[in-house]
């Protein structure tokens, strides 16, 4: 593991590190905030944050405004990159596919299948990598994310319901099989058989029997992607039919940016902390 950043913040420490990933076959970067409660090596619960299209680990690290709340609550906050990167990694000219747009799936279609294994990276490899260097309590994990990362948080939690004590999202892509962002990405990474997409679609997973105890979702009512790409009403309907308690908060005047995410980040962290520290 190569250290890229160590900085003191709110009594804890902000880190950014790079490591060689066996899942993606590339170098991957992630950031970790360690709160003061872990300064002596005491294991602390962890919140995984998955970022959205075009983002790296740096977007939430620099704009998310999570450190003060994490320092107070004793939460470790981990933010990985959104895709493999590098000169040998297949890419696309558009912002919504290729590097920066891994969609948290394991690609099966060439040429993406060699490196685009973000599901395996997040679920199988990253927790071990983080635990090897930081005092995380992997018995107490929560997950959240923004936009494409909200999609990742929901689908990963639905497929691994015993791992996470709580799940939330900011403006998630809830039904990628039914919107243009998702159709392009899932078709490109997984192929034309739409049945294979369902394991990477939160609404479809719920329709197919996946369950969670509860969900918290914040959505900006002024989000320009709301009606075409995000469609939270589909998640609301699926949760209602499945009996999953969903708190969906439509935030008036807020858009899709980190001005929105940072405004409600503390609410989400306190919500997670109630479940992680119970």
Q: Which residues are catalytic, by number?
A: 147, 223, 256
Three-class secondary structure of residue 231 per DSSP: coil
Dump the DSSP string for 173-212. ---GGGSHHHHHHHHHHH-S-GGGGGGG-HHHHHHTT---
**For residue 218, which of 248, 246, 238, 240 has the smallest C-alpha distance?**
248
**For residue 39, which of 3, 16, 20, 12 has the smallest C-alpha distance?**
12
The secondary element (H helix, E strand) that includes residue 9 is strand 2-9
Cβ neighbours for 45, distance < 8 A, ≥ 6 positions apart: 74, 75, 76, 136, 137, 140, 141, 142, 273, 276, 277
DSSP 8-state symbol, 47? E
**For residue 119, which of 82, 165, 162 has the smallest C-alpha distance?**
82
Instruction: List, edge to edge, every strand of the sheet that includes 164-170.
Output: 2-9, 12-20, 27-34, 76-80, 44-50, 136-145, 164-170, 215-220, 246-251
């Amino acid at each position: 593991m190569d250290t890229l950043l160590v900085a003191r913040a709110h009594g804890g420490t902000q880190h950014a590190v790079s490591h060689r990933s066996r899942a993606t076959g590339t170098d991957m970067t992630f950031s970790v905030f360690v709160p003061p409660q872990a300064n002596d090596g005491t294991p602390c619960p962890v919140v995984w944050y998955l970022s959205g299209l075009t983002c790296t680990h740096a977007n939430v690290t620099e704009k998310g405004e999570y450190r003060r709340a994490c320092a107070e609550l004793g939460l470790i906050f981990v933010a990985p990159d959104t895709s493999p990167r590098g000169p040998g990694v297949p890419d696309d000219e558009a912002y919504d596919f290729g590097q920066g747009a891994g969609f948290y799936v394991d690609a099966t279609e060439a040429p993406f299948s060699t490196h685009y294994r973000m599901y395996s990276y997040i679920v199988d490899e990253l927790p071990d990598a983080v635990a090897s260097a930081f005092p995380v309590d992997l018995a107490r994990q929560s997950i959240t994310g923004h936009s494409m990362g909200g999609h990742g948080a929901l689908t990963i939690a639905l497929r691994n319901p015993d791992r996470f004590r709580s799940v939330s999202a900011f403006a998630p892509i809830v039904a990628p099989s039914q919107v243009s962002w998702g159709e392009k990405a899932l078709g490109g990474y997984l192929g034309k058989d739409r049945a294979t997409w369902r394991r990477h679609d939160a609404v479809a997973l719920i329709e197919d029997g996946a369950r969670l105890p509860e969900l918290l979702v914040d959505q900006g009512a002024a989000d320009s992607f709301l009606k075409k790409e995000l469609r939270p009403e589909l998640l609301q309907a699926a949760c209602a039919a499945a009996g999953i308690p969903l708190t969906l908060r439509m935030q008036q005047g807020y858009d899709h940016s980190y001005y929105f995410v940072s405004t409600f980040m503390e609410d989400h962290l306190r919500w997670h902390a109630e479940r992680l520290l119970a």
